[in-house]
Chains A and B, each alone.
Chain A
Amino acid sequence: MRNSACVIMAALALSAQPNRNQFQLSRVASHVSVTPSEVSIQVPTIRTPPPLPVLTAPDRWTITVKGPGHVKSPITPSKEPGYDPATGVITISVDKAGFGTTDPAKCTWSVSFRSDTGTLTAAQDPAISDDFALGAVNGSASGDPVVVTVRASGIPPAGTVVNDGSFWRVQVTDSDGNSRAVQPVDQAHYSFDSGFVTLRFPASKIGSIKRDNASWSAAFLPPDATLVSQAGSSGGGAVDQAKSRDDADLYLSGTYIAGVGTKPIWGIDAKAGYSAAPEKFPVLKWFVSRSPANLRFGIYGEMTTNPDTSAPVDRTQVDPDSISAYTTLFQTTRLPHNPVFYGMKWEVQPIGGEFSRMYPASNLISGGRIRFISVLANQKRWAADLIPSPGFEGGKNLNKPGTLFGRSVDLSSYDTIARLRLGADANFYLYRRVPKPGDAYAFTLNGSWVARVPFTAEPFTTTAYLPDPTDATTITRQQVVAMRKNTRHYVKIDAAWNITKLFGIQAEYKYGSLPPLFEFVSHQVSVGLLFKATYTGNHSVASPLP
């Protein structure tokens, strides 16, 4: 049985493995060159191409054009495509006559190439810039010759210009402020497979510069342009866009709630959290000197006002209704290649509290869950994932009030807490036409479901029409608490339209109940403006077990 499982896993892993050495068409460049007689497009490629007679045979290429006007499509190249071995770019030309009055530059282009092993396709991608640009620079800390790697994106100039060392200038500055520039470099090599230029020159050219912790920059100075390298691409600020409340490290939302049987209520929902490796915390570093990779410890707190539409319905003041505080330990793992689950994240809350400010209800809770991450769909403009998360919660009740919501209750049996916690999250992402780091989504939809199955009776709060405690002749809608072992579901759906990077409009739907009193929220819908951000550094805390 075990052997069968191993064979299946190995087969799945092999099926998911890419063929790394296979020739690929990267995309069709956005820029289209138009002359009176022909139209040319560029197709960047990676890896070793097939033999030139095969690659440049016009009948192996098919070009599909979709335009604002009538365009004859598909079409074949008007002459042999050209391949530039220095840049990996294929240039394909077609007759201009077939476009009539349509501007070829306003059309959408895609190509397919029939190789001996299969058909390769590529299309234009507005998210990728054609412009040749330099990114981060990294220099070797030791060794001779000095090796400097420069990230180079976009389509480089045709021919061997990019591989000409005389057009490259490298500057290095050590931690003492000593600086030295080198031009030309002895060797320059552009790899279109990796998107890097590797520069080499003798260590003697930088003399006594200390290369440990030195900063490097590079400039590409061909005859008709100047390109200078940029700093690393790890974001520009302390915070970045978050998709939803669950993903946000800092979250503040103002809501206006309207529903049947309730007056409008203004609500505030806020949360904040921070995490780091356990040895980075003042007390924990006494016990842990070096934790395993990807293990994090975090602290977390949240506060909400007016979390439901149940009576009282006329409160509009800003007054915290529930406050939660947690510590958490979590680790993220990438699972071996398989077609179902990409990764796993386990979380343990060694100790946490569930508090309600309006009523003397509080629990001391420990818990844990495992989240399995599965990428369900992955299209050019949209994607979706599913994250099932089995878990547990256990702890102790700290308060046994005799009265809740103005009615007497019997909580004498409320002591030990033990719950099975089953849940799942699903996310839908609609990307911006040109996604940018920190601002990738135009619209997000997040749904989460949690079912708590208590093994011991716990309070469950519902509403019912009952005689008023102060006037038995009057029937009013009241909150009623009973000790039950029923399964408690909680469903939440968030939709967010991101107007800007950090601000948006949100609609939210809630149904179900949450601890400690499991006050039942029935089909609550809210809309509001929101601010949401994540740290650009890795200080996020796993969401508490909602």
Chain B
Amino acid sequence: MLEKKKELDPDTCQDIVVDETPKPGKFRGPDQLLKDLGIIGDIEAEVHKAGIIKKLDGIGFAIEATDISSGPAINVGDCTASVLANAK
């Protein structure tokens, strides 16, 4: 019998979002901008999205890069919300 896929929750999504930044140790709260965690430009945001996609793939979820909000002026919580809303 196939195990039912567990639903994502905000804490799991936030852990993924923060862990896939260059400087996860600088995380100070959900309103913090991603630039503080090292997402300083477009190419870092692209790598960030790629990391989130791969991490979600590992736990059985898929998401389009287009559906992830990432960039220097996006805060951790809004990025987390985009992952929570769009990961299937």
User: Footprint of B on A, CB under 8 Å?
Assistant: 16-20, 24-27, 44-46, 122, 127-129, 135-136, 138, 140, 143, 147, 149, 151-154, 191-196, 198, 232-235, 242-243, 247, 293-294, 331-334, 337, 342-345, 371, 373, 375, 378, 380, 383-385, 387, 427, 429, 431, 435-440, 534, 537-538, 540
Contacts and interface: CB of A to CB of B under 8 A. Distances in A.
B64 to A, nearest CB: 7
Given A17-B25, A140-B7, A195 B77 contact: yes
Given A293-B50, A334-B20, A198 B10 contact: yes
Q: How many interface residues does chain B have, given as a range?
A: 35 or more
Nearest to A441: B72
Interface in B29-78: 29-33, 35-36, 38, 40-44, 46-51, 53-54, 57, 64-67, 69, 71-78
5 contacts: A26-B29, A27-B32, A136-B84, A191-B10, A195-B76
Given A195-B31, A334-B54, A440 B73 contact: yes
Contact of A431 (B32, B47, B72): B72
Contacts of B11: 191, 193-194
Contact of A233 (B46, B47, B50, B82): B82
A16 B42 CA distance: 22
Contacts of A384: 40
B67 to A, nearest CB: 7
Given A333-B47, A429-B72, A538 B7 contact: no
A371 B48 CA distance: 15
Contact of A373 (B15, B18, B44): B44
Contacts of A235: 69
Contacts of B51: 334, 343
Contact of B66 (A196, A247, A343, A537): A537
A25 B31 CA distance: 12
Main SS at interface, chain A: strand
A15 to B, nearest CB: 9
Interface centre among A136, A243, A439 (most CB of B within 10 A): A136
Contact of A333 (B50, B71, B81): B50
B15 to A, nearest CB: 7
Contacts, number: 210
Main SS at interface, chain B: helix
A136 B65 contact: no
Nearest to A331: B50
B7 A196 contact: no
B7 A294 contact: no
A46 B25 contact: no
Contact of B33 (A45, A193, A375, A435): A435
A346 to B, nearest CB: 12
Contact of A383 (B20, B35, B65): B35
Nearest to B84: A138
A538 B63 CA distance: 12
Interface string B4-19: 0001011100110011
A440 B48 contact: no
In order of increasing CB-CB distance, the 7 nearest A-B pairs are A195-B30, A334-B51, A343-B47, A26-B29, A195-B77, A383-B40, A18-B25
A27 to B, nearest CB: 7
Contacts of A45: 29
A440 B7 CA distance: 34
B39 to A, nearest CB: 9
B40 A194 contact: no
Contacts of B27: 18, 24
Contact of B67 (A44, A152, A234): A234
Contact of A151 (B44, B66, B73, B81): B81
Given A196-B81, A385-B41, 19 more contacts: A18-B19, A18-B27, A27-B29, A27-B31, A128-B31, A149-B81, A191-B10, A195-B30, A233-B74, A247-B42, A334-B50, A337-B24, A342-B22, A375-B40, A387-B43, A435-B35, A435-B72, A437-B69, A438-B73
Contacts of B40: 375, 378, 383-385, 427, 429
A194 B30 contact: yes
Nearest to B57: A293
A537 B49 CA distance: 12
Contacts of B67: 234
Contacts of A383: 35, 40-41, 72
Contacts of A342: 22, 38, 44, 47
A242 B42 contact: yes
B24 A25 contact: no
A132 B71 CA distance: 22
Contact of A194 (B14, B22, B47): B14
Contacts of B20: 334
B29 to A, nearest CB: 3
Interface centre among A192, A375, A387 (most CB of B within 10 A): A375
Contacts of B44: 342-343, 373, 375, 385
A329 to B, nearest CB: 15
Contacts of A44: 29, 31
B54 A135 contact: no
Contacts of B48: 334
A378 B38 contact: yes
B36 A378 contact: yes
Nearest to A537: B66
A426 to B, nearest CB: 11
A233 B79 CA distance: 8
A45 B14 CA distance: 16
Given A143-B7, A149-B84, A435-B33, A373 B43 contact: yes
A371 B57 CA distance: 24
Given A378-B36, A534-B42, A345 B47 contact: yes
